[in-house]
Amino acid sequence: MTEYSDKHKPKSDTQTANDQIPTDQAIKVTVNNAPDDSPATLWLIDDDAALRMVLADTFEDAGLTVISFTQAQAAWGRLNDILQETELVTQLPDVILTDIRMPMMDGLSFSDWVHQHFPKLPIVIMTAHSDLTSAINSYQTGAFEYLPKPFDLDDAVATIYKAINYQPNLVIESKATKSDTSETKVTADPTTNINTKSDTKSKPINQANTVSKVSKVNKVTKPKTAVKVNISANDNPSGIIGQSQAMQTVFRAIGRLAHSPITVLITGESGTGKELVASALHQHSPRHQQPFIALNMAAIPHDLIESELFGHAKGAFTGATTTRPGRFEQADGGTLFLDEIGDMPFSTQTRLLRVLANGEFYRVGGQQPVKVNVRIIAATHQNLEELVKQGKFREDLFYRLNVIRLPLPPLRTRREDIPALATYFMKRAADQMDTAPKQLHPMAVQIMQSFEWRGNVRQLENVCLWLTVMATGDTVMAEDLPPELLENIPSNLDPHLEQDLYSAGTDNQNPIQQSQLVSNVTSWQQALAVWATQSLQTGETDILQTATPEFERVLLTAALNHSGGKKIAAANLLGWGRNTLTRKLQQLDITASEVQRNSD
């Protein structure tokens, strides 16, 4: 099995022509290291020419054969020709990497169609619109993996390697041994097969673990259009917002776990959104039409928890005048969310263990067992392992709950998500108050990003509600923030910075130049955050596509100035190869005179 290791590390762009691997010794990746003359094939689908070029170079350096498409429609046409047997099965790729948003056919519809007709062909989906909906839709269409942009190229290569080697068994049976026909049948199971000419060149196939590539059909099949990309900033049914790497990990987990009935344990500090994640797992599961029942163990008196969970029979105790179903019965067929599971009494833990084991329990005072089909999602802010050591939590119950653990990051570790979260909460608070949403001044956003947020997202939501009620004017200035946010402002932030510092000269300047206006009071990351916040508040979209070329222009020009115009030295400073630097100079239309003018 091919593994992503130092032996298969992609060639660095900084290598010179003299120290690169000779052509006859170049890295070559094949399916399961099969002794094949042809490397594994990757189909790359993206309408961004610059990104497509970079990715193609990266994967070719990593030992793959890359075939690029500017749109999914063209790749679908090739695959459909193979279904109709007008093209040979050997033309199938070993893995497909596709973007989501493209003209004519989006990547999700393409992935859904491929998964139906080529269920063993792995697809990796990448997108710059990396929200929860995109992640879940990607996995629901059968994608092998989901890559949010921007991603590390080494990580992308590792993912593609894994996809190539995640292959089902395949059996090859030559019909020539049974008849005079010159055809070979490739079958993966009784329902998938395709016939190919025997004189066709085909890749050697490792029978222990290789690719089953197609299912034969008799008519042209068009991709479904039911799968739609719904990633509008204002359409967030789950209420979970985040572009940070930490949240992308959470989104991937939700996408993979949503269709599974497996028990999930969500951990994280109070206010990180554990119930929202549990609700999202339910909403996108096959149980979504059944009840979602949430119960907080810390909010129920201990002597009532068993009755609340399992219900009680008539006459079970004083006041039990009727039989009452518990939360387990109410959630039958759906999902039961047990929040703050660490606060559950020890005696109740024993009864819960029985339900998790066989889905059966007795009502309090009842004589007949009750059978239910409930998915359990538990959550806690406590350290259950420590509670087990202290004897306050059953060890066997802990292992029953801790099948899949999903940790949620605190807000202070994903500060880049605060502007989007604050904008969302300000709008929601305005809707509650029936007023126009207020805008946050960039300096106010920076102060909010520097705050520790011990109450996490819940505390941020409360602050946005407070600002909507208490702040005057349409724009929330730094001095309008609650006192607790202004007590310990970092020294590199000035809450009284004048508004015109940000607005002066922004009409005709690129984003990097705008950010330079505040370089004397903030880091470049904070300046970039200021520009991004302003752009989003003014309704701009695709800001990454706007900022990235200018960002590269500034760094490339600075490197050339520093190296005295020597391209090889500048490429080394940037971590690029000479060819990459030359290509970027052409793409960005940077001339030698411009470099000299900037250095002067």
Tell me the sheet residues that pair with 197: 183
Domains in the chain (CATH in brackets) are 31-165 (3.40.50.2300), 258-409 (3.40.50.300), 412-492 (1.10.8.60), 528-594 (1.10.10.60)
Query: Among candidates 470, 498, 497, which has minimal Cα distance to 483?
Result: 470
Q: Are 319 and 364 in contact (CB under 8 A)?
A: no
> Other C-beta atoms within 10 Å of 540: how many?
12
pTM summary value: 0.64
**What order do you get walking across the sheet with 375-380 strand by strand?**
292-296, 335-339, 375-380, 264-267, 404-407
Gap between the Cα atoms of 118 and 144, Å rounded: 13
Gap between the Cα atoms of 67 and 178, Å rounded: 37
Give Dmax (Cα) for the chain: 93
Gap between the Cα atoms of 80 and 492, Å rounded: 59
Q: Is the preceding omega at residue 150 within 30 degrees of 0, hence cis?
A: yes
In the three-class reduction of DSSP (H, G, I as helix; E, B as strand; rest coil), residue 253 is classed as: helix
Query: Among candidates 248, 344, 31, which has minimal Cα distance to 355?
Result: 344
Tokens of 76: 């679908």
Q: Are 212 and 170 in contact (CB under 8 A)?
A: yes
Query: Among candidates 477, 459, 464, which has minimal Cα distance to 433?
Result: 464
Gap between the Cα atoms of 37 and 35, Å rounded: 7
**Residues 140, 141, 143, 149, CA torsion sign:** negative
As a residue count, the chain comes to 600
Q: Exposed e or buried b for every residue in 348-386, given b needs 16+ CB within 10 A?
A: bbebbeebbeeeebebbebeeebebebbbbbbbbeebee
The vertex-306 CA angle with 305 and 312, nearest 5°, equals: 120
Q: Beta strands of 457-597 (E only): which ranges?
A: 475-476
Close Cβ partners of 135 (under 8 Å, ≥ 6 residues apart): 146, 148, 248, 251, 252, 254, 255
Q: Are 160 and 95 in contact (CB under 8 A)?
A: yes
- pLDDT by residue for the chain (600 residues), tens only, comes to 333 333 334 343 334 334 444 444 455 565 555 555 578 899 999 988 888 899 999 999 888 899 999 988 899 988 988 888 888 888 889 999 999 888 888 888 999 999 998 988 999 999 887 778 888 888 888 889 888 887 888 889 999 999 888 655 433 233 333 333 333 333 333 333 333 333 333 333 233 333 333 333 334 444 443 333 333 333 455 678 888 888 988 998 998 898 888 999 999 999 999 999 999 999 999 999 999 999 999 888 888 888 889 988 887 777 777 888 889 999 999 999 999 999 999 888 988 888 888 888 888 888 888 899 999 999 999 999 999 999 999 999 999 999 999 999 999 999 999 999 999 999 999 999 999 999 999 989 999 999 999 999 999 999 999 999 999 888 999 889 999 998 877 766 644 444 433 443 344 444 444 444 443 444 666 677 777 777 776 667 778 878 888 888 888 888 888 888 788 888 888 888 777 878 788 777 776 555 555 444
Q: How far apart are the first and last CA of the chain?
A: 55
Written as one string, the DSSP assignment of 16-79 is -TTTSPPGGG-----GGG---SSPPEEEEE-S-HHHHHHHHHHHHHTT-EEEEESSHHHHHHHH
Gap between the Cα atoms of 54 and 69, Å rounded: 14
Close Cβ partners of 144 (under 8 Å, ≥ 6 residues apart): 95, 122, 123, 124, 162, 163, 166
Q: How many CA atoms lie within 13 A of 554 on its CB side?
A: 12
| H or E stretch covering 528 | helix 524-537
> Other C-beta atoms within 10 Å of 232: how many?
10
